[in-house]
Amino acid sequence: MGENLLPLCGWVDSAKLVRVGECNRCGKCCDPTTIPARMEVYRRYRLAVLVHTEPCRHFHYEDGKGVCSIYEKRAEMCRVFPRIPADIEALPECSYRFIWVDGGEDGTSAGSKDS
């Protein structure tokens, strides 16, 4: 169905919603200028999500790509991003997307809508 599938867990139905795609290194999820818009999305959906609310000192752009200076040691919250559609609602540059599947055992029986 797609590359790099990430089954979701927790309060999102892990059998139905999957993440597809690969990171294009746009850097927007680490870019401090996106924090207000991202926080607004979480507030609108009343989501309590662990996010950086202050600029990350490990982030910079290099040749137009986002770079994490501690990439190999970055926190779990950075490794799993994005986990839910709301994570990227305010990040149109993000190349990940979320799809709903109809529930085959391998999650490939059917796909429907993008996030």
Q: Under the rule (CB under 6 A), what is the footprint of ligand SF4?
A: 23-30, 52, 56, 58-59, 66, 68, 70, 74-75, 78, 81, 91, 93-96
Q: Is the Cβ of residue 12 or residue 15 nearer to ligand SF4 in the bound state?
A: 12
Closest approach, Cβ 93 to ligand SF4, in A, equals 6
Q: Which CB, 24 or 109, lies closer to ligand SF4?
A: 24
User: CB of residue 103 vs ligand SF4: minimum separation in angstroms?
Assistant: 26
> Minimum Å distance from CB 102 to ligand SF4?
26
3-state secondary structure (DSSP) of residue 67: strand
